Each structure stands twice: as structure tokens, then as C-alpha cells.
Amino acid sequence: MREEVQAVLAGEDAWMVGGAVRDELLGRPVLDLDVACRDPERAARALVKRIGDAVFPLSTQFGSWRVLVDEGRTVDFSPLQGGAIGSDLAARDFTVNAMAVPLAGGELLDPYGGRADVERRVLRPLSERVFDDDPLRLLRAVRLEEELGFRLDPEGEALVRAKAALVAEPAGERILDELQRLTAAGFERLGELGLLEPLGGHLDPRLRAFDSSPFRLAVTFGESLRRLPISNDLDRFLTTMLRAEAPPDDSPRSIHRFRRATEPAALEALAFVGAQELAPAVERARELDPAEPLLRGDELGIPPGPEVGRLLELIAEERAAGTISTREEALELVRRSME
């Protein structure tokens, strides 16, 4: 992939920068390339013709473009900020991301000691203004700590705490993207640094009760999560969590009713309402789910309408509870319920 990028930018002032350089020093697989050059759009459109699957602007504000390559790899092209690589690196976030290598080959350019910080596993802000320039970097600091196994240096941690009130300023899409990439430990770190409260969240004792990003967002932010531009799927998940009520017991009938209100997120809902001890009952019920219903709506002998749904649910519940098991018993149940 790098050879193709080199071919597209042959003879031009172009640099491999940021995370790609850092990850190469760490010995991590470099699946995505970050390239700083004079004309990102031209470079991106030229590359997509050679090896790409798609191309689109990554940031209209900064003039960056992304090329999607096979197997989920990406190449990001960004303009040389300030017109030269020295100015470009000076505008970056952390020292470990402020290194560059000439795309055509050459020595590492490391004006801020990023390589030494990589070796020390330290995340050090490039200047006291990095979070003012882009407050999303407050969240990115925690995410990079997690992903790289690094830790903010003491001065950097103090700066994050001092600038925490800025964390809600970036676009909601950008905030949500960073939050969705964090584990429970990442959320705990956000709380420790004072970054949750300005976003409308708080550390919740249920945080580690279920390992999924939607669950962590729901327990941390609750209704406040809707301040962010969440997807329809995440909105439905949040509604399910907020409306969930713990089953009174582990009887088949109780579990059926709980599942009806919460599936496909019944296990998450149990964790949300603090009833994880009922998880085996839910899992057993899932295993026993019949492949086919005893009756279909058009076999009830009544016109289409809400009554059809009520009767089908009645049949499903009684079947789950073990009071009926055959088509004939289901028909008799329908007859009795309509008398």
C-alpha cells in the first residue's frame, strides 16, 4: 500500500506522519497510513483509481481525504499545515504523533522527542494549547492510553483536568465516535480526569456488568445520551434499557414476559436492572425457542387487527409457560379467550 502511495506522490513533498510512524516504532501492524502532502484531494483521487474501493472527504474543516482500501485498510491524506512539515508537526496533539518520515524514504523527523516518549510509553501533549485548538483531544488522550498502553505524563494529566470543561465543545458525532471505542476502564479513566460530568455522564457501579459499548453508554449517560447524535439502533437500545423492569422470578412465564420487552438485549437489560442472576434462565429460554409458531395470524379465523397480535402473544406465552404444546391446544386457547 505504501508503494502505491509513493507512486501517486512521486517527486512531491509528502510525509508519512502521525499514528503510522508511531505504530511502526512500536512494532504494531501498520494497517492505516496517514500522509501529509500539498494536495490531499488530488492524491486521494489518484490513489483510489489504483487500489482503492472508495474515496471521500474526511474533514471539510481541515481539507483531509480518506481512501478505503481492501480488507478495511485506509489511507488518509491531509494538507501540510503551515505549508511545511515543521509547521505541520507543531500543530499536532501529542509528541508520539508529532513524528514524520519522508514518504520517498529517509530519516525520522522527531523535533519534540516523540521517539523517546514511545519508548517510555508516555503520552505528552505537544503544548499547553493542544486542547484549546481541538477539545476532542481530551477524549483522544484517554483512548490512546487504552489502545497503546501508554499513560499521560503528570503535566499532561494536569492539563487535561484543567481543560476538562472544553470536552463537550466538539461535534457530537466526533464525541460519540471516541466514546464508542472505550472499554469500561476507559470510562473509569474519563471519570477520574473529570471528563464525564461535562458530557452529562457519571460513573455507574453497573459499568462492568456487561461488556458492550451500547451498555457502557447507556449506564454512563442514561437519558443524556440523546444529546449526542446516536443511531436509531442505539436509541432503541437505550429505550429498552430505561424501560426494563426486573422479572419477579425465574419462572418460564416471567422470563418470557421480560424477553418480550427486552429482546434482543435481554441479557444487557438484566445487567442494567441488576438481575444478572437470572441470565441462565434467559439463556435456557433462548435455547428452547421454537423454530415455528403453533399458529399463524391467518389461521385464527378473525380479521387482521390488534386482536391478532394479542392472541398470538397469548399463545406464545402459554407455550413458553408449558400450559400448551400443540396446534389443537392453541386453537382451544383462542376459542376460550374469545368467549
Q: Which amino acid is at 301?
A: G
Q: Tell which of 62, 87, 119 closes a domain.
A: 119
pLDDT band at 241 (very low <50, low <70, confident <90, very high): very high
- Give the residue-averaged pLDDT of 321-331: 93
Reply yes or no on whether the pLDDT at 58 is more than 90.
no
Long-range contacts of 293-299 (CB under 8 A, 24+ apart): 294/319, 294/324, 294/326, 294/327, 294/329, 294/330, 295/327, 295/330, 295/331, 295/334
| Domains held by the chain: number | 2
pLDDT of residue 2: 84
Structural domain containing residue 306: 290-339
Asked if residue 285 is part of any domain, the answer here is: no
- Starting from the edge strand earliest in sequence, which strands make up the sheet with 100-102, in order? 52-59, 64-69, 74-79, 32-37, 15-17, 100-102
Q: d(Cα 207, Cα 36) in Å, to the nearest integer?
A: 39
Question: C-alpha grid cell for residue 237?
Answer: 437500545
pLDDT of residue 11: 87
Q: pTM of this prediction?
A: 0.88
Asked if residue 94 is part of any domain, the answer here is: yes
Q: Tell which of 119, 149, 182 closes a domain.
A: 119
Asked if residue 147 is part of any domain, the answer here is: no
225 close to 238: Cβ distance less than 8 angstroms? yes
Higher pLDDT, 29 or 247: 247
CATH code of the domain containing 96 = 3.30.460.10
Q: Tell which of 95, 119, 143 closes a domain.
A: 119
Query: 107-128: per-residue pLDDT in tens?
Result: 999 999 999 999 999 999 999 9
Q: d(Cα 337, Cα 317) in Å, to the nearest integer?
A: 14
Name every residue whose Cβ is closer than 8 Å to that of residue 130 and which is 6 or more positions away in sequence: 93, 94, 137
- Give the residue-averaged pLDDT of 217-237: 97
Asked if residue 274 is part of any domain, the answer here is: no
pLDDT of residue 125: 97
Question: C-alpha grid cell for residue 270?
Answer: 438484566
Q: d(Cα 313, Cα 171) in Å, to the nearest integer?
A: 43
Q: d(Cα 95, Cα 252) in Å, to the nearest integer?
A: 58
Asked if residue 85 is part of any domain, the answer here is: yes
Question: C-alpha grid cell for residue 230?
Answer: 446516536
Q: d(Cα 39, Cα 45) in Å, to the nearest integer?
A: 10
Reply yes or no on whether the pLDDT at 266 is more than 90.
yes
Asked if residue 205 is part of any domain, the answer here is: no
Query: 284-300: per-residue pLDDT in tens?
Result: 999 999 999 999 998 88
- Give the residue-averaged pLDDT of 92-96: 95
Question: C-alpha grid cell for residue 248?
Answer: 419477579
Count Cβ atoms within 10 A of the Cβ of residue 231 and give its class: 0-12 exposed, 13-18 middle, 19 or more buried: exposed
Asked if residue 199 is part of any domain, the answer here is: no
For 57-181, where are the alpha helices, taking DSSP H only? 85-90, 114-120, 130-133, 136-148, 154-162, 172-180
Asked if residue 109 is part of any domain, the answer here is: yes
Query: 20-37: per-residue pLDDT in tens?
Result: 899 999 998 877 889 999
- Give the residue-averaged pLDDT of 207-217: 98
32 close to 42: Cβ distance less than 8 angstroms? no
